Each structure stands twice: as C-alpha cells, then as structure tokens.
Amino acid sequence: MATRVLLVGFDKTENENIKKIYGAVQVATESLASIESAMERIPTDPPALVLAEEPASLDSLKALDLCLKAHAPSTAVLVTLKSPSLNRAVDAMRLGAYDCLKKPLQRFDLLVATKRATSSYGRSIIVPKIVLPKRRLPQIILVFVCLVAMSLGIWKLVDRSPSTTLSLDSKYLSGIQWEKRSLWVGDWFNATVTQFRAKRGLTKKSRRLITEGLYRMKEGQPILVCHTPEGLFTVGTDLQLRSHKWDVGLPQLQTIKIPGTNPTGLAWDGNSLWSVDGHSGFLYRYDRFLRVLQTERSLIPRPEGLAWGEGSLWVLGSRPLQIARLEKVDQGYVWRGPYSLLDWIPLEKKPTGMAIGFGRLWLGLDGDSQIVSKSLSSIIKAKSAWKRAEKKE
C-alpha cells in the first residue's frame, strides 16, 4: 500500500472526514493513534505521505523525520496545527514537516498540500485536477448581500483596515508591504516570507489577520521583500537583488548586485520596481530585466524605508524620523514634504519595515513583533497646521 496516506493522531470524527476527502480522489488511507505507532509501522510498509495531528511535543516530529529518512526517504510529512501561528509552523517545518495546515481542514487546502508535498518527493498519488467546488447558491446570496450592504453605506465600514497595531509573531522583521488586503512580511532570521490577509468585517476583531502562505527560502536571508504581479523580489544579506519563482524554497529566477552599499527599501509602483540606498540617498527604478532605468535623489537624508501607496512613492528616514512622497507629474517627478514623525516614533527606535495601506503609514520597529500605524492625513495636516501658524507670526 505504498500509495496510501498514513493518518496519525486524529480522533474518530476527524479520521472519517479526512478519509472521505481522500476517498473522493481514489487515495487510500490508514489510521494510527500516535507517532510512536507510526514509527513501528513505517519500516514494514512505508506510506506515500504522513498526515499528522500536531503532537503535544514537537520533538516527536524529529524522531518521525529520522525514521522516514532511514526507511522511507521519499515520504513527506504534513502537520495540522490546532492554533496556527508563524512561530509554531516554522518550528514544525524545522523538525521535518514539509508544510503545516490550519484546522479545521478544508478539502481544497488538504488536497493541494498533498499534491504539492508528494510531487516534491517524486510521487504522484492524486491524478484528477483539483478544483474549488462550485457553489452557485452561496455565491448568488453573497452578491445580493454585498449589493444591499453597499446601498446602505456599510461596505466602507466592512472594508476598513484591521487594528491600527498588529502583532506578526516575529521580532526579526525585514520588510512589510500592503497589497490591497494582503500583507507581505519578511523575516531575516528564519529566512521566511509570510502572506497575511486582513479579513473584512464590521468590527476590528472580525477584521483580524489570517495567515495565507508561509514561504521559506533555501538560499539567503531576506533583508527586504516586495511582492509584485511579476513575482516576489528580495534583497539578501549579500546585497543581491533577486526575483523568485513561486515554488518550494523560492528558487531564484534572476539575480543582480543591487546598486549602492546599504539598501533600505524596495517598492513596486504599479509599473516598475524601485529601491533606495541609505548611504548614497539615491532611489533606483528598474525595468523587467532588473536594469536601472532612472535615479532620483531622496528628499529625506539617510533613507531607511520605501513604500508605494496613495499614488506616490514614500521615503522614510533622517533623525528625528520624517517621511516625504515622490509624485509623478507629466514627464517628471516632484517631491512633497517632508513630514515629521517626531511626536509618534521615539528617537531610539529604528525602523525595520515600512508600508502604506488603508490610508495609513505602517512601521515595523527593531526588536518589536508589532507593526504600528498612523493616518497619513493626520501626518500631512500636522505640517500644514504648523505652516499656517508660522505665517501668522
């Protein structure tokens, strides 16, 4: 039964649900009560995949990984997490798990993860194409509800940002980026890039962040990340600018040495990729082949961050912290600002990531697992009020 999936540690109800999902695509399963019993079973009849409930101690995953390497090196492990968190998922993957799935398990997520895991080990146990089930009635109801909500003026409330301070479960942030309701976060220590999504809802609690994807780089540690329609771009500790393929380990498609000696920001303006260098103070715009098309001198000295939003490129830097925006006007660019952040961010705090989203400026700060935000309009108005007071004097 080498093409079966070994289910480990699930209760009776969960076992039945998982068996139904696999049965629909003609994949056999076998259930065992614990990882210890699985380790006794694997040497005599190795499975194609192990799907394990999160153990009380993740150390048992290491023992399972050693058993598989010895007796079934082409068998991958998927782990279900009862309370998914970035740190828990990273720990499980370090100890041998190929990927982690949140509970309750969804049919589409489970089958896609199964196909991806077995394929990466040279297996092919799911032949039919996996598609999302078509649910016409719920879709019709959802469209009707959305139209009613918009007509009542509720949609703007539902579509608001999550809490103005967000915990990302990491103190090693290396870049943040809002893309509509998706938040991309780099972690240089764990060499990971995580995609979060802000749910929609009437309350801040209902608009919480949920993890949609966790990608671990095989090569290098990202100090800057930027997601674009053309793919993911990172700058590593070796000062190489890379484009990545969406696959296990984020394999590189293209690599160049980034201009400058201290890259501090990476952003996508809807058409082009930009970077900024903290030493020279220059912004660089690239073409699709990562060739530099244009350079602009930053209005902010010693820039420490770069982000796109509200139709402008925003640059963060100087001491005390300031931001300025670069707007495209006709065939050229015009700087607006700078705007002070002195009353918001303490002098001793160093930014580790900058993003623009929901009309707010978001900052990650060194040694802090939270990102904080402030309304852009309030930052800009503060300068306007100061200028008006100065003119009266």
- pLDDT digit string (tens) for 151-199? 655 656 666 777 888 888 778 888 889 888 888 888 888 888 888 888 8
pLDDT > 70: percent of the chain: 90
Amino acid at 376: L
Segment 78-103 shows an average pLDDT of 89
Closest listed residue to residue 32, CA positions, set 22, 17, 42, 44: 42
The model's confidence at residue 215, banded by pLDDT at 50, 70 and 90, is confident
Instruction: Find the helix or strand (DSSP H, E) in which 389 lies.
Output: helix 376-392
Segment 11-39 shows an average pLDDT of 91
Residues 372 and 362 sit within 8 Å (Cβ to Cβ)? yes
**pLDDT at position 158:** 60
Residues 305 and 315 sit within 8 Å (Cβ to Cβ)? yes
Residue with tokens 């210890």: 36
Q: Is 151-392 CATH 3.40.50.1980? A: no
Work out the angle between the directed axes of helices 107-120 and 12-23 (0-180°, nearest 10). 70
Query: What residues does 213 pair with on adjacent strands?
Result: 195
Closest listed residue to residue 367, CA positions, set 86, 171, 185: 171
Closest listed residue to residue 364, CA positions, set 181, 226, 176, 135: 176
Distance, C-alpha 184 to centroid of its chain: 4
Residues 294 and 284 sit within 8 Å (Cβ to Cβ)? yes
**pLDDT at position 389:** 39
**pLDDT at position 131:** 55
**pLDDT at position 393:** 42
**pLDDT at position 134:** 60
Structure confidence by residue, pLDDT tens digits, 114-152: 988 988 888 777 756 565 556 566 777 877 776 766 665
What are the strands, taking DSSP E only, across 134-230?
Answer: 165-167, 173-179, 182-187, 192-198, 209-216, 222-228
**pLDDT at position 390:** 41
Structure confidence by residue, pLDDT tens digits, 299-339: 999 999 999 998 899 999 988 889 999 998 887 889 998 99
**pLDDT at position 391:** 45
As annotated, the residues of the chain forming the CATH 2.120.10.30 domain(s) are 151-392
**pLDDT at position 257:** 94
Structure confidence by residue, pLDDT tens digits, 337-368: 899 887 788 777 788 889 999 889 989 888 78
- Distance, in Å, from the CA atom of 28 to the CA atom of 7, rounded to the nearest integer, reads 10
On the CB side of 353, CA atoms within 13 Å amount to 31
- Distance, in Å, from the CA atom of 208 to the CA atom of 80, rounded to the nearest integer, reads 21
Residues 48 and 75 sit within 8 Å (Cβ to Cβ)? yes
Q: Which of 240-249, 354-363, 384-393 has the highest mean pLDDT?
A: 354-363
Closest listed residue to residue 70, CA positions, set 93, 42, 91, 95: 42
Residue with tokens 């930014």: 351
Q: Is the pLDDT of residue 392 over 60?
A: no
CATH tag, 5-120: 3.40.50.2300
**pLDDT at position 66:** 93
Distance, C-alpha 322 to centroid of its chain: 27
**pLDDT at position 62:** 92
Tell me the pLDDT of the chain averaged across its residues.
Answer: 85
Pairing of strands 240-244, 231-236: antiparallel
- Distance, in Å, from the CA atom of 79 to the CA atom of 62, rounded to the nearest integer, reads 12
Q: Output the DSSP codes for 300-345.
A: SSSEEEEEEETTEEEEEETTTTEEEEEEEETTEEEEEEEEE-TTTS
**Max alpha carbon distance in the chain (Å)?**
88
- Distance, in Å, from the CA atom of 41 to the CA atom of 116, rounded to the nearest integer, reads 24
As annotated, the residues of the chain forming the CATH 3.40.50.2300 domain(s) are 5-120
